[in-house]
Amino acid sequence: MTVIHTDLVLPCLNEAAALPWVLSRLPEGYRAIVVDNGSTDGSAEIAAAASAQVVHETRRGFGAAAHAGLLAATAPMIAFCDADASMDPAELPLVVDPVRAGTADLVLGRRRPVTAKSWPLHARLANSSLSWRLRRITGVNIHDLGPMRAARRESVLNLDLRDRRSGYPLEMFLKAAEANWRILEVDTTYSPRVGRSKVTGTVRGTLIAINDMSALLRETRR
């Protein structure tokens, strides 16, 4: 029997078109936990049929889903990835292996777009200005607050993350930096998502994300 070393949390809101490919790409030793937030397109059934563990989270929000996945996980390593096929789970060892090897405490996948369509201009600009601010605040040399990431599960639990919306990935980064974690950035490929955009692909989603993140940054600087 294969030993599961990493639980992969996949927050999922109506990703029926992307899930079969995403779930087929997990390397050996990884287990998928799909956290469904009331999808109406059969995402949960598709995930279950592909033998993923399905967690239902009634509270809306990216952070609520990501955190429910963290709480449901049991493996020593935890990884996060979008469920929209923009990232390839086959690349997970790039972020997980340095944590397993003990050379990093948090590894973030820097999104390297394969085509101009992978990443809308407004999202790219918002992200690079955020990264610039984060480099200044924390001294960590990051260029993208990438959603594909990995750390030791118990260490992330100990960060006591509170955000349940779009600020969750930022809060994880800020608290890890504050705790002097060794944070590493590696390149990962970024392709156009499958299905409809929900967060930064829409202007409304980007504004919500910027709002959630700005509140966290204001708190950090106090």
Which residues contact ligand GTP (rule: CB under 6 A)? 11-13, 15, 35, 37, 60-62, 65, 82-84, 86, 193, 197-201
Residue 15 makes contact with Mg ion by CB under 5 A: no
> Which runs of E-coded beta strand occur in the chain?
6-12, 30-36, 53-56, 77-80, 106-113, 149-152, 183-190
Residue 67 makes contact with Mg ion by CB under 5 A: no
Q: Which parts of 181-210 interact with Mg ion (CB under 5 A)?
A: 193
- Alpha carbons within 13 angstroms on the beta-carbon side of residue 192 total 7
In the complex with ligand GTP, the residue whose CB is nearer, 62 or 173, is 62
Beta-strand relationship, 149-152 and 53-56:
unpaired
Q: How far is the CB of 140 from ligand GTP (least distance, A)?
A: 21
φ, ψ of residue 23 to 5 degrees: the values are -70, -20
Residue 57 makes contact with Mg ion by CB under 5 A: no
Which of 15, 36, 57, 84 forms a contact with Mg ion (CB under 5 A)? Answer: 84
Cβ(64)–Cβ(37) below 8 Å: yes
Q: How far apart are CA 73 and CA 123, in angstroms?
A: 30
Residue 144 makes contact with Mg ion by CB under 5 A: no
In the complex with ligand GTP, the residue whose CB is nearer, 57 or 185, is 57
